[in-house]
Amino acid sequence: FILRIEDTDQERFVEGATEIIYNTMRDTGLKHDEGPDIGGPVGPYVQSDRQKQGIYMEYAKKLIDKGEAYYCFCDQERLNSLKREVNGEEIMTYDKHCLHLSKEEVEANLKAGKPFVIRQNNPTEGKTTFHDEIYGDISVDNSELDDMVLIKSDGFPTYNFANVVDDHLMGITHVVRGNEYLSSAPKYNRIYEAFGWDVPVYVHCPLITDENHKKLSKRCGHSSYEDLLAMGYLSEAVVNYVTLLGWSPRGELAEQEFFTLEELVQAFDITGISKSPAIFDLEKLNYFNSAYLKALSPEAFLAVAEPYLKQGITNPSIDLRLVAPLVQTRLNTLTEIPPMVDFFDRLPEYSNTLYLHKKMKTNEENSLEALQLVVPVFQAMTEWSFQAIHDALLHLAEAQGLKNGRIMWPVRVAVSGKATTPGGAVELCHILGKEETLRRVQQGIRQLTPQA
C-alpha cells in the first residue's frame, strides 16, 4: 500500500492538506506500507520532490524523441483565440500549430528562453479502445483526443502525465478512480503504449453525488471526512457508510449493512461496484452513526461523548457518568448532546403549556397540586438515590389515588423546563440532587400559582 502525495498543481496547493491525509488515514485505520513519512524502494513519494529530480521532464523528452510529444510556444492570446462554445460551455482544442515547427525553430525558441509547454501528440484519425473492469470495452474517436499538456510552463508535470509516469515506475498494476476520468483513459493509454509499458487494469467507480445529483466537492461546501467528525459522526460509521456508496457485498453478505474495516477487507470484490452514481444521504449516515453509538460500551460512549456533555453542562456537581447513558440511545450525532442536556446546567425559561399532557391527563391546575404534594415528600427524604426517589413518587401517586403520570409529568417539566428530555422525572431528579430538584419544583409552583 503506497501513499503518494500528488502536488503538481501548485496553484491549488493547500497548506496543511498533507497532514489531513495522514490524520484521516490514521483515524480510519488505513495503514500504508510506503510513503513520504516511511520511505521505501520507489521514492521519493511526493511528486514535487520527484519533479526536482527531473523525472518527468526526462520522460517527456523521451516522448518528444519518439514523435509522441512536442514543444508548444503559443502564448495565452493565441490559445484564447482557439476557444469555442459547445453546449453553453467554453472549450479549447489545440490545433497542433507548434507540431509543425522545424527542429531549428524549436531550438532557437528554447535558446531564447521562450516559455513553453510540452504537449502529447495524439492522432486525429482512427479509434483508441481500452478496457475497464466495470464498464467493459470503451472506444473513443481519436479526433476527440486533445493534445493535452504533459509539462506546464512552470516546469511541473500535469496531474495526468505525472501519474502515468509514477504508476509505471512504482509498479502500480490497478488504477481505481472516479468515472469522470473515463474520457482521459485513452490519452493515458497512448502514453503507456508510446513507452512500451504495460497498461494497468482500470476500475472506474461511480460518482458520489448530493441529493441534487451534483458531484460532491469541498469547494461547493460539501462535507469532508474531518467535517463529518466535527459534525459528531464516528469514524467507524463514516467508513462503513462510505464504503457502501457505489459498492455492495455479494452472496451471503448481500443483506449485511454493518461491517468492521477488517470485515470490509475480506468482503470486498470489484464485481460489487455499481455503474450508477451513488447519492450521499445524511439521513442514511445518521442511521449508521446512531447504530454505532448505541453499540458502544458505556465506557467507550462516555469517552467520545464527554467533550459534548461538557459543552452543555458546566456545573461540576452534575455527574456526567449518570447523564451519558440517558442520551446514548437517543442520538444520531454527538453534536445533538449539548442542547439535549443543557437544562442540567440551568433551568431554561418555559411556558406553562408544557404541563398540558393529554395522555398523562395533566393541566396547569392539577400539575400545581402535584408539585405541592411532592415538596414535603422530597424534603422528608434522607436518602437521595434513584430507587428512593422512584419509590417515593410512586407511593405518593398511590396514596393520592392518581396514575403515576399525574405526578411524574409535572415533576419532569418543573426540573427540566422541556417537553422532551433524556430520561424521566426520577433520573433527572437523581442527577440534579435534592437541593436543586427542590429549588426547581418550588420555582414551578410559583410559576403555576395564579396571580392575585
Can you give the pLDDT at residue 87?
83
* Burial of 139 per CB tally in 10 Å (0-12, 13-18, 19+): exposed
171 DSSP 8-state letter: T
Can you give the pLDDT at residue 11?
77
434 classed as catalytic: no
What are 307-335's pLDDT values in tens digits?
A: 999 999 999 999 999 999 999 999 999 99
The H-or-E segment that residue 137 falls in is: strand 136-141
Q: List alpha helices for 40-120, DSSP H.
A: 47-52, 55-66, 76-81, 103-111
Cβ-contact 214, 277 below 8 angstroms: no
Of 386, 393, 396, whose CA–CA distance to 427 is shortest?
386
Instruction: Provide the 3-class DSSP secondary structure of residue 84.
Output: strand
Catalytic pick among 31, 218, 310, 361: 218
Can you give the pLDDT at residue 401?
96
The H-or-E segment that residue 238 falls in is: helix 235-243
| pTM of the shown model | 0.87
Residue labelled with grid coordinates 446512531: 290
The H-or-E segment that residue 69 falls in is: strand 69-72
Can you give the pLDDT at residue 110?
97
Can you give the pLDDT at residue 214?
85
What are 173-207's pLDDT values in tens digits?
A: 999 999 988 988 999 999 999 999 999 999 999 99
Could you say which residues of the chain have pLDDT below 50?
A: none
* CA 191 – CA 416 distance, rounded (Å): 69
Can you give the pLDDT at residue 118?
98
* CA 122 – CA 186 distance, rounded (Å): 10
Can you give the pLDDT at residue 210?
87
Can you give the pLDDT at residue 220?
67
Can you give the pLDDT at residue 222?
74
Centre a 10 Å sphere on the Cβ of residue 188 and count the other Cβ atoms it contains. Answer: 22
